[in-house]
Amino acid sequence: MDLLEYQGKQFFATYDIPVSEGEAVTTVEDAVAAADRIGYPVVVKAQVHVGGRGKAGGVKLAANTAEAREHAEFILGLDIKGHIVKTVWIESASDIAEEYYASFTLDRAAKKHLGMLSAEGGVEIESVAETNPDAIAKIWIDPVDGLSEETARSWVEAANLNPAANDGAVDILLKLYRAYTEGDCDLCEINPLILKPTGEVHALDAKVTFDGNAEFRHEGWDVIDATQIRDEREQAAHDKGLQYVGLDGSVGVIANGAGLAMSTVDIVNQVGGSPANFLDIGGGANAEVMAGALEVINNDPNVKSIFINIFGGITKGDEVANGIVTALGRVQIDAPIVIRIDGTNAEQGRAILAEHASDKLQSKSTMIEAAKTAVELAK
């Protein structure tokens, strides 16, 4: 779950990370009122789930009421990389001496947290990584050991910030690491992390991603969840509690288990097709779940064929087949369906499907055959 900048800053503030005072508003009048309350100069900042807002004209300094109005009028409704600005965050403007970059993210390959710190902040870290990789000081943190003050200090020293920023940076990075780990984040990024002329270090931007799998233990995440941008298909799947990721191909994919669903996406590609989605219906592939999955896939106008790939384990092949038949009785499906059932009671499952076979519904005994047929039908 991606947080908007202001949500990220409010999250940072709960860990005592210094951020600017501000207000999130959705109208020009409210923006002006907020700016007047906060006191000038202020920054008017577009709240969208993409970076590079500054370059796109979505971050502007206002010295007085008239400028606050002008910028709010410009930014509200602005299209930034396809995201229309509906909310602006008005915050007290900061004086900047230097701009740095700081982040924590998970390095899955290393099975450790990765901290990155650079004296070259304010620009996209990807371009720093490309043009001047030595300018990024990296540390890998074992989650069991955590980040000690000593380690944080030598990391900060390796990043060659202005020495005046070192104490403040160590303090913020320790707090940010706590926020990142205790907060169940996939990413906590501050770009720019600024050194003020007065010597304070301060988070001027916030990019935070929560790990959606931890939603059950964070009551406050409902609010964040409500502001997530999902495409229509993803929203429908989310409402039905399905694990769905929208892709842009033409073969709708339904499988039981995330691993099999990923393999199904792969095999569709391998035989020259392109999957329209990833969809894992989980272990209990009953009629209810199958009907929901078929509905979501059916509503995708790009889908030209549907590949249902089931491996019977605890869920038996005949139950799944009955589930599919019942689901088809409930949902009017437009695209032809190819089914592969293997595993426990596969024979019985295939026999049930054979009774209902038509040009809209066929069963294949191997994954590769089924994939080829589905891809052929999608052409």
Helix (H), strand (E) at residue 73: helix 65-75
Q: What is the widest separation between alpha-carbon atoms in the chain?
A: 79
Q: Which one of residues 8, 28, 53, 317 is an interface residue with ligand GDP (CB under 6 A)?
A: 53
CB count in 10 Å sphere of residue 224: 20
| Among the listed residues 320, 310, 211, the one whose alpha carbon sits nearest the alpha carbon of residue 263 | 310
By CB under 6 A, tell whether 43 contacts ligand GDP: yes
Instruction: Let me know if 101 is a catalytic residue.
Output: yes
Q: Based on CB atoms, which residue is closest to ligand GDP, 3 or 327?
A: 3
Shortest gap between Cβ of 87 and ligand GDP (angstroms)? 14
Interface characters, 171-210, with ligand GDP (x: CB under 6 A): --------------------xx-----------xx-----
Q: Based on CB atoms, which residue is closest to ligand GDP, 42 or 327?
A: 42
Q: Which one of residues 51, 246, 252, 273 is an interface residue with ligand GDP (CB under 6 A)?
A: 51
The interface region with ligand GDP, picked from 89-97, 255-263, 323-331, 362-370 by CB under 6 A, is 89-97
Shortest gap between Cβ of 315 and Mn ion (angstroms)? 46
CB count in 10 Å sphere of residue 366: 10
C-beta separation of 160 from 136 below 8 A: no
Q: Based on CB atoms, which residue is closest to ligand GDP, 136 or 331?
A: 136
| Tally of CA atoms within 13 A in the half-sphere of 241 that contains its CB | 6
Instruction: Let me know if 295 is a catalytic residue.
Output: no
Q: How far apart are CA 163 and CA 195, in angstroms?
A: 10
- Pair type for strands 185-195 and 207-210: antiparallel
- Return the bridge partners of 160, or none: none
Residues ≥6 apart with Cβ < 8 Å to 123: none
Helix, strand, coil fractions of the chain, as percent rounded to 5: 40, 25, 35
By CB under 5 A, tell whether 191 contacts Mn ion: yes
| Tally of CA atoms within 13 A in the half-sphere of 14 that contains its CB | 11
Q: Which one of residues 28, 59, 251, 261 is an interface residue with ligand GDP (CB under 6 A)?
A: 59
Q: Which one of residues 10, 94, 103, 118 is an interface residue with ligand GDP (CB under 6 A)?
A: 94
By CB under 6 A, tell whether 32 contacts ligand GDP: no
Give ∠ CA 17-173-217 in degrees, rounded to 5. Answer: 70
The interface region with ligand GDP, picked from 51-59, 81-89, 142-150, 290-298 by CB under 6 A, is 51-59
What are the structure tokens assigned to 91, written together? Answer: 């915050």
Which of Mn ion, ligand GDP, none has residue 98 at its interface (CB below 5 to 8 Å by kind)?
A: none
Q: Based on CB atoms, which residue is closest to ligand GDP, 131 or 270?
A: 131
The interface region with ligand GDP, picked from 91-99, 108-116, 274-282, 294-302 by CB under 6 A, is 91-99
By CB under 5 A, tell whether 205 contacts Mn ion: yes
Say how many residues touch ligand GDP, by CB under 6 A: 15
**Could you check whether the bond before residue 197 is cis, i.e. omega within 30 degrees of 0?**
no
Looking at 189, 244, 295, 319, which residue is catalytic? 189
DSSP 135: G
Looking at 101, 177, 180, 244, which residue is catalytic? 101
Q: Look-up: residue for tokens 């406050």? A: 220
| Among the listed residues 332, 327, 349, 331, the one whose alpha carbon sits nearest the alpha carbon of residue 340 | 349
> Which residues are marked as active site?
101, 189
User: By the criterion CB under 6 A, which residues form the site for ligand GDP?
Assistant: 43, 51-54, 59, 93-94, 96, 99, 122, 191-192, 204-205
**Residues near Mn ion, by CB under 5 A:** 191, 205
